[in-house]
């Protein structure tokens, strides 16, 4: 039953992600014409007949060209004096996400995702108020396992980390309505994002608790005890965190899972078009870049993802590279998109390595 629920939620979430371009994934009622994953390009002459092709195989030439592009765009690194201290940088990034949200939400409820525009049903946010952060004050010590906390009566609990304006939150809440006893937590380090989620018409405290939380800050307590989550969603978030901090984040999140709980991961893969199109001078370190808006992006290989989650004591249940060909029919251009997707389970007898 638990596995069934998890699969439903993940399918629902990934289904939104897979609807062609990321920006389309949250348009209400937008369903792909062909079943997801079934659009295979067999005749290159037909490439412009659809917006996206699944399961693309790269030729050796294509792979070599991508490698060359990355060598070129990472040859010139951001100058060390501009790579400010990591904590300060994180604050810059936090305000960048907030700024992006403000700009887009002013434009009729649009939101950004991975540096690309993403339509959100979140209501427009006026200005950029300085929201207080009651969640952090309220839960500074963290609740005990036996005490009451939001969702303490639930029998199935999910956390979405880095929820942004709620592009996954609301489809999940929709699904959860058919599962009595389920509860969703969602957090983001940008207070404005959390405020957007909370002010959405579908947000209800009976089913959901949104809170401000920086997953890189080890000292911060969660508003629920360790070991109570059935599932964690980590979707296009880890890539924005400094590579030197990722392992600690994965370790901390693993502690939140119940034995048998599942961490669901999706993020940028190595040689994704988003990596290839970086200009020189944007590279911070190997495969890690800063965008013009100050947000950052790492591009993972399957092996790195495997090592990171296994190092945290989780067992790999799925780890795949999702290669697609994205087509801009109007401009008659094609782009190789690469995402890594994985499911990692906490074993019944969990031993955290490292
Ligand atoms: C690319 S967006 C993805 C949003 C959402 N997961 C989705 O798939 O639509 C990345 C989100 O992660 C959040 N984020 C980045 N670093 C974070 C951190 N250290 N702690 C919490 N949230 C973070 C950003 O504020 C942003 O909302």
Q: What is the pLDDT of residue 84?
A: 60
pLDDT at position 86 is 45
Question: Among the atoms of ligand 1, which is closest to the Cα of residue 167?
Answer: 9
Is the pTM of the predicted complex or chain greater than 0.95?
Answer: no
Is there a contact between 119 and 26 (Cβ–Cβ < 8 Å)?
yes
Centre of ligand 1 to C-alpha 75, Å, is 28
Ligand 1 proximal residues by C-beta, below 6 Å: 97, 113-114, 162-164, 167-168, 188-190, 193, 213-216, 235-237, 240-241
Token digits of residue 183:
């509860």
Question: What pairs with residue 162 in β-bridges?
Answer: none
- For residue 232, the surrounding DSSP H or E stretch is strand 229-235
Burial grade of 319 (CB within 10 A; 0-12, 13-18, 19 or more): middle
Question: What distance in angstroms lies between residue 79's CA and the mean position of ligand 1's atoms?
Answer: 26
Q: How far away, in angstroms, is 163 Cα from ligand 1 center?
A: 6
Q: Could you tell me if residue 299 is inside a domain? A: yes
- φ and ψ of 30, to 5 deg: -80, 105
User: CA nearest 321: which of 341, 300, 335, 343?
Assistant: 341
Residue 149 lies in a domain: no
Using alpha carbons, select from 174, 162, 158, 124 the residue that is nearest to residue 16. Answer: 174
Which amino acid residue places its CA nearest to atom 2 of ligand 1?
113
Among residues 262, 255, 247, 265, the alpha carbon closest in space to that of 350 is found at 255
Structural domain span for residue 28: 2-125+154-345
- Give me the CATH number covering residue 239: 3.40.50.150
Atom 27 in ligand 1: residue holding the nearest Cα: 164
The per-residue pLDDT for range 29-88, each reduced to its tens digit, is 344 455 667 888 888 888 888 888 888 888 899 999 999 999 999 999 998 777 764 445
Residue 235 Cα to ligand 1 middle (Å) = 8
Residue 256 CA to residue 222 CA, distance in Å, equals 9
Considering the domain boundaries, does residue 352 fall inside one? no
Q: Is residue 317 part of a domain?
A: yes
Instruction: Determine the pLDDT at residue 138.
Output: 43
Q: Is residue 133 part of a domain?
A: no
- Residue 69 makes CB contacts below 8 A (sequence gap 6+) with 276
In a domain, 327, yes or no: yes
Q: Which residues contact 191 (CB under 8 A, 6 or more apart)?
A: 98, 131, 132, 133, 212
Integer Cα distance of 73 and 339 in angstroms: 20
- Pocket perturbation via mutation, ligand 1, pick of 188, 288, 299, 341 by most ligand atoms within 8 A of CB: 188
Residue identifier of the C-alpha nearest atom 8 of ligand 1? 235
Residue 44: inside a domain: yes
In the chain, the number of structural domains is 1
pLDDT at 146: 67
Please give the distance of CA 269 from its chain centroid, rounded to a whole number.
13
Q: How far is the CA of 312 from the centre of ligand 1 (A)?
A: 21
Answer whether residue 351 is part of any domain.
no
Candidate from 164, 291, 296 with most ligand 1 atoms within 8 A of CB, to mutate: 164
Q: Which residues of the chain have pLDDT under 50?
A: 18-32, 85-87, 104, 106-140
Strand 110-113 to 116-119 pairing: antiparallel
Rg of the chain over CA atoms, in angstroms? 20
């Amino acid at each position: 039953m638990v596995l069934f629920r998890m699969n439903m939620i993940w399918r629902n979430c990934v289904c939104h992600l897979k609807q062609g371009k990321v920006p389309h994934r949250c348009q209400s009622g937008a369903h792909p014409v062909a079943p997801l994953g079934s659009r295979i390009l067999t005749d290159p002459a037909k490439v412009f007949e659809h917006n996206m092709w699944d399961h693309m195989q790269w030729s050796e030439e294509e792979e070599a060209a991508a490698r060359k592009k990355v060598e070129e765009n990472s040859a010139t690194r951001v100058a060390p004096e501009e790579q400010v201290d990591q904590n300060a940088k994180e604050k810059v990034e936090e305000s960048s996400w907030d700024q992006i949200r403000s700009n887009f939400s002013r434009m009729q409820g649009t939101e950004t995702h991975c540096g690309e525009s993403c339509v959100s049903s979140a209501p427009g946010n006026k200005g950029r108020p300085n929201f207080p952060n009651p969640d952090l004050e309220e839960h500074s010590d963290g609740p005990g396992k036996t005490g009451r906390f939001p969702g303490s009566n639930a029998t199935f609990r999910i956390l979405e980390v880095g929820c942004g304006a709620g592009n996954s939150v609301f489809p999940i809440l929709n699904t959860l309505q058919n599962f009595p006893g389920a509860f969703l937590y969602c957090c983001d380090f940008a207070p404005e994002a959390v405020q957007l989620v909370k002010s959405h018409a579908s947000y209800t405290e009976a089913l959901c608790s949104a809170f401000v939380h920086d997953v890189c800050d080890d000292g911060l307590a969660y508003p629920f005890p360790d070991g109570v989550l059935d599932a964690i969603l980590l979707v296009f978030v880890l890539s924005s965190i400094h590579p030197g901090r990722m392992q600690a984040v994965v370790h901390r999140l693993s502690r939140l899972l119940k034995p048998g709980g599942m961490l669901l991961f999706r993020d940028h893969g190595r040689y994704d078009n988003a990596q290839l199109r970086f200009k020189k001078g944007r590279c911070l370190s190997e495969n890690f870049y800063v965008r013009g808006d100050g947000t950052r992006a790492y591009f993972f290989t399957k092996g790195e993802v495997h090592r990171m989650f296994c190092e945290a004591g989780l067992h790999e249940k799925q780890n795949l590279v999702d290669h697609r060909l994205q087509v801009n029919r109007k401009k008659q251009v094609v782009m190789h998109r690469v995402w890594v997707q994985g499911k990692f389970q906490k074993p019944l007898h969990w031993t955290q390595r490292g």
